[in-house]
């Protein structure tokens, strides 16, 4: 067997893509290793959404260059591939700056990896694939080799929204949905491999349109698969939250009461400059409708502070929106420039210390809401889907319907099952309980 090491940065979509690349290379004799030393192939599956992403990749490539040289001294060959959104954004710049890289492959071209490997092995030189072919990249691929209790399944990719701060429309291309047939086939395969929960992924997952199938209809079909007990989806855009999806949160018992619905800001001025195409009140009304359908739904969001032009009043509007909605948890970031995006050249960039102070205030508020939400579960009996053994000896870890991690001292035989747990206490990052 040859050794394959895949390093994954960034989002869940990348985690899914990494697993798919490993499945794709398995028939070529590659087995996954958990370290890059001595590997026959190393793939860096990169993410461009965070700051200085490209610089981090180049420094990692510097380390790998030495390992590649060591492998060559031993008479072997280490193939080096850069995949993901940095590959898409940087393209040829990567082979120019890091000639040790054999392959640069954008997110839409992973199905070409076997052919690229064959080329690199035969001829040497560099292979570069960063087109956006119309073809469905994973539909001709291998069935999943393995599955955890909770499995990712990509149903949609790309984004046409062009928020002015974001690189995704440039790196992942325009919105594209996989067909319901291929998704259902993969869902059944994952279920056969042990998946009990499916997390449907897409940059704009609620914009899913599979030839007339909405996301709600897809969830309904997936709910027919007996072994699948829980369905989640992420990430949604407020503008694509259709009535039938809202209704599904009441009607589809397998659809979990949890919704990641990024709002980014509570200020209408900032939302407009971000090109979000909705106001703070639009979002409030939407959440009200969702809560009418599913009163206990746990809401989560992403926030950006310090977007160009954001004033103290704008920031206050974000804090007010957070107080009005009440989040179970949320991610928050300081705005940072992405080359090529409209916001990066806007005048009135916000000073770093102002951004830091705003982020601190927002995160304190969000954390207090998270703790309040978690504490509200103490004393309750919750259905927990157990996923894996926990780090602490004798404990296993599972999740509530609201995605909260729960640690329980009990038999590992319960992994893969839903059991009732009485929640007893909360620590910083987890709930703890006993079987009820």
| Residues of this chain that bind ligand SF4 (CB under 6 A) | 159, 161-163, 166, 168-169, 203-204, 237
Contact partner, 241, from ligand 5AD, ligand SF4, none, Cβ < 5-8 Å per class? none
Would you call 202 helix, strand, or coil by DSSP? coil
Give the whole-angstrom CA distance, residue 259 versus residue 249.
10
Comparison of 282 and 302: residue with beta carbon closer to ligand 5AD: 302
* 280-293 vs 243-251: helix crossing angle, rounded to 10: 30
- Nearest-approach distance from CB 204 to ligand SF4, in angstroms: 6
Q: Are 82 and 103 in contact (CB under 8 A)?
A: yes
Would you call 262 helix, strand, or coil by DSSP? coil
Q: Residues 318 to 377: which contact ligand 5AD by CB under 6 A?
A: 333, 335-336, 338
- Nearest-approach distance from CB 166 to ligand 5AD, in angstroms: 5
Comparison of 2 and 278: residue with beta carbon closer to ligand 5AD: 278
Q: Residues 283 to 302: which contact ligand 5AD by CB under 6 A?
A: 302
Give the whole-angstrom CA distance, residue 299 versus residue 281.
16
- Nearest-approach distance from CB 330 to ligand SF4, in angstroms: 15
Q: How far apart are the first and last CA of the chain?
A: 46
DSSP of 12-39: HHHHHHHHHHHHHHGGGTEEE-SS-TT-
Give the whole-angstrom CA distance, residue 138 versus residue 250.
32
Contact partner, 169, from ligand SF4, ligand 5AD, none, Cβ < 5-8 Å per class? ligand SF4
Contact partner, 329, from ligand SF4, ligand 5AD, none, Cβ < 5-8 Å per class? none
Alpha-carbon distances of 379 from 32, 357, 375, rounded to whole Å? 42, 36, 9
- Nearest-approach distance from CB 167 to ligand 5AD, in angstroms: 7
Cβ-closest residue to ligand 5AD?
A: 302
Phi, psi angles (nearest 5°) of residue 350: -85, 140
Token pair of 28 as six digits: 């070529």
Contact partner, 177, from ligand SF4, ligand 5AD, none, Cβ < 5-8 Å per class? none
Give the whole-angstrom CA distance, residue 7 versus residue 5.
7
Full 3-state SS string of 156-179? EECCCCCCCCCCHHHHCCCCEECC
The 159-198 site mask, x for binding ligand 5AD (CB under 6 A), equals: ------xx--------------------------------
Q: Are 270 and 305 in contact (CB under 8 A)?
A: no
Give the whole-angstrom CA distance, residue 220 versus residue 245.
10
- Nearest-approach distance from CB 48 to ligand SF4, in angstroms: 11
Contact partner, 161, from ligand SF4, ligand 5AD, none, Cβ < 5-8 Å per class? ligand SF4
Q: Does 264 bind ligand 5AD (CB under 6 A)?
A: yes
Bridge partners of 135, per DSSP, are none
Q: Does 201 bind ligand 5AD (CB under 6 A)?
A: no
Contact partner, 338, from ligand SF4, ligand 5AD, none, Cβ < 5-8 Å per class? ligand 5AD
Token pair of 335 as six digits: 């705005």
The beta strands (E) that lie in 278-380 are given as 298-305, 329-334
Contact partner, 304, from ligand 5AD, ligand SF4, none, Cβ < 5-8 Å per class? ligand 5AD
Contact partner, 232, from ligand 5AD, ligand SF4, none, Cβ < 5-8 Å per class? none
Q: Residues 39 to 98: which contact ligand 5AD by CB under 6 A?
A: 49
Q: Does 262 bind ligand 5AD (CB under 6 A)?
A: yes
Contact partner, 336, from ligand 5AD, ligand SF4, none, Cβ < 5-8 Å per class? ligand 5AD
List % helix, strand, coil for the chain (3-state, nearest 5). Answer: 40, 25, 40
- Nearest-approach distance from CB 363 to ligand 5AD, in angstroms: 13
- In the sheet that holds 127-129, the strands lie side by side as 30-32, 2-8, 41-46, 79-83, 103-105, 127-129
Positions in the binding site for ligand 5AD (CB under 6 A): 49, 165-166, 262, 264, 302, 304, 333, 335-336, 338
């Amino acid at each position: 067997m040859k050794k394959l090491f895949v390093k994954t940065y960034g989002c869940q979509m990348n985690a899914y893509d990494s697993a798919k690349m490993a499945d794709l290379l398995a028939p070529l004799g590659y087995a996954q290793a958990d370290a890059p030393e001595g590997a026959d192939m190393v793939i860096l599956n990169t993410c461009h959404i965070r700051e200085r992403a490209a610089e981090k990749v180049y420094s990692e490539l510097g380390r790998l260059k030495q390992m590649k040289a060591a492998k060559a001294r031993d008479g072997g060959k280490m193939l080096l591939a850069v995949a993901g959104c940095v590959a898409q954004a940087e393209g040829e710049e990567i082979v120019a700056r890091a000639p040790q890289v054999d392959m640069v492959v954008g997110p839409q071209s992973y199905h070409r990896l076997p052919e690229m490997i064959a080329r690199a092995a035969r001829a040497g030189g560099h292979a570069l694939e960063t087109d956006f072919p119309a073809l469905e990249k994973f539909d001709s691929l291998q069935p999943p080799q393995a599955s955890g209790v909770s499995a990712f399944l990509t149903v949609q990719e790309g984004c046409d929204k062009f928020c002015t701060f974001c690189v995704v429309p440039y790196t992942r291309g325009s919105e594209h949905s996989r067909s319901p047939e291929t998704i259902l086939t993969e869902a059944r395969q994952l279920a056969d491999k042990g998946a009990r929960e499916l997390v449907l992924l897409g940059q704009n997952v609620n914009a899913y349109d599979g030839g007339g199938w909405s996301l709600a209809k897809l969830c309904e079909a997936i709910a027919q698969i007996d072994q699948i007990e829980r369905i989640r989806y992420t990430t949604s855009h407020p503008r694509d939250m259709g009535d039938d999806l809202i209704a599904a949160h009441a009607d589809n018992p397998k659809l979990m009461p949890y919704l990641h619905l990024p709002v980014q800001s509570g200020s209408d001025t900032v939302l407009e400059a971000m090109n979000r195409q909705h106001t703070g009140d639009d979002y409030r009304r939407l959440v009200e409708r969702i809560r009418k359908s599913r009163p206990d739904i746990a809401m989560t969001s992403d926030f950006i502070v310090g977007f160009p032009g954001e004033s103290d009043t704008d920031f206050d509007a974000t804090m007010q929106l957070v107080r009005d909605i009440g989040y179970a948890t949320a991610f928050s970031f300081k705005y940072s420039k992405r080359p090529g995006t409209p916001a990066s050249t806007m005048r009135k960039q916000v000073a770093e210390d102002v951004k830091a102070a705003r982020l601190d205030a927002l995160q304190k508020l969000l954390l207090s809401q998270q703790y309040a939400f978690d504490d509200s579960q103490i004393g309750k009996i919750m259905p927990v889907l157990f996923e894996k053994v926990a780090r602490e000896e004798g404990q296993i870890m599972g999740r509530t319907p609201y995605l909260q991690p729960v640690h329980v001292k009990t038999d590992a035989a319960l992994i893969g099952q839903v059991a009732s747990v009485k929640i007893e206490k909360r620590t910083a990052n987890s709930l703890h309980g006993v079987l009820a």
